[in-house]
């Protein structure tokens, strides 16, 4: 596996696979978040694509959330808000995309990684894909990803947000509606994603577009909502509490 972070896209038989990777457990710095959001948006406009599969590189962690190295370097509210807007933009890109976004979650998802998984239209995982909302441990809170997570798992979101030290199993996430199906290994997961993607390519694109609108009805205010939430996180990341917590990651 390359040690260089990337976002790459491959289109095959009307299925666009978008993959992101970072050597630090697929954590997401600002430049990768921006490229991911732009790639999703651009792919949504590509008439040759019928369905999008979103995945991360590697066989272990799906996404460790925010890049701690980038969090450590933030020294003003403007930059703080701009960083957390990266997650807002990825979530909103999936929300506005006129095509179904199918998620492949092969391993653990933490913080912003849970938010990314929650914004997918249909998400499948392996049994190793436990989830954790760890933000409260850092003195921040899952403000930006919260609306997406709560939309998917309901009141269970407050449970995992408060219980910020604990991983919740993939089966728990499935029971709450985050994952549609959970498999024993990556091979089974890949086969099922390929099968579903092929099936979706046979559907009427106009029907899919209208269904996306229906599924996301009531989220029209998320551009403003997530921006406001990014500002809260951008302020809290500067707190002495959070600065002290982040020191151990330097």
Residue 130's CATH number: 3.90.226.10
Q: Is there a domain that residue 42 lies in?
A: yes
Q: Is there a domain that residue 222 lies in?
A: no
In total, how many domains does the chain have? 1
Structural domain boundaries, residue 92:
6-186
Q: Is there a domain that residue 213 lies in?
A: no
Q: Is there a domain that residue 248 lies in?
A: no
pTM here is 0.96
Q: Is there a domain that residue 201 lies in?
A: no
Q: Is there a domain that residue 20 lies in?
A: yes
Q: Is there a domain that residue 230 lies in?
A: no
pLDDT at residue 171, as a whole number = 98
Q: Is there a domain that residue 123 lies in?
A: yes
pLDDT at residue 3, as a whole number = 83
pLDDT at residue 249, as a whole number = 77
Which stretches of the chain drop beneath a pLDDT of 50? 1
Q: What is the per-residue burial (b if ≥16 Cβ within 10 Å, else e) of 96-116?
A: bbebbbbbbbbbbbbbbbbbb
Question: Which residues, other chains included, contact 140 with Cβ-Cβ below 8 Å and sequence gap of 6+?
Answer: 233, 236, 237, 242
pLDDT at residue 248, as a whole number = 82
């Amino acid at each position: 596996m390359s040690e260089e972070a990337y976002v790459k896209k491959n289109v095959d038989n009307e299925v666009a696979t978008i993959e992101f990777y970072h050597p630090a457990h697929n954590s997401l710095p600002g430049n990768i978040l921006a490229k991911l959001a732009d790639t999703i948006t651009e792919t949504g406009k590509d008439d040759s694509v019928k369905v999008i599969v979103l995945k991360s590189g590697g066989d272990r962690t799906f996404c460790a959330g925010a890049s701690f190295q980038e969090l450590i370097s933030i020294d003003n509210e403007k930059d703080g808000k701009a960083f957390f807007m990266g997650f807002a933009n990825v979530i909103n890109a999936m929300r506005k995309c006129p095509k179904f976004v199918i998620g492949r979650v092969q391993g653990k998802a933490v913080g912003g990684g849970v938010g990314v998984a929650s914004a997918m239209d249909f998400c499948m995982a392996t049994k190793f894909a436990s989830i954790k909302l760890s933000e409260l441990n850092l003195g921040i809170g899952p403000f930006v990803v919260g609306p997406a997570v709560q939309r998917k798992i309901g009141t269970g979101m407050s449970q995992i947000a408060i219980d910020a030290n604990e991983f919740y199993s993939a089966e728990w996430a499935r029971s709450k509606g985050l994952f549609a199906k959970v498999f024993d290994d990556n091979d089974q997961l890949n086969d099922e994603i390929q099968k579903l993607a092929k099936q979706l390519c046979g559907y009427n694109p106009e029907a899919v577009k209208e269904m996306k609108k229906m599924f996301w009805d009531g989220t029209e205010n998320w551009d403003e909502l997530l921006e406001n939430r990014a500002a809260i996180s951008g302020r809290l990341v500067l707190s002495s509490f959070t600065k002290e917590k982040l020191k151990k990651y330097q």
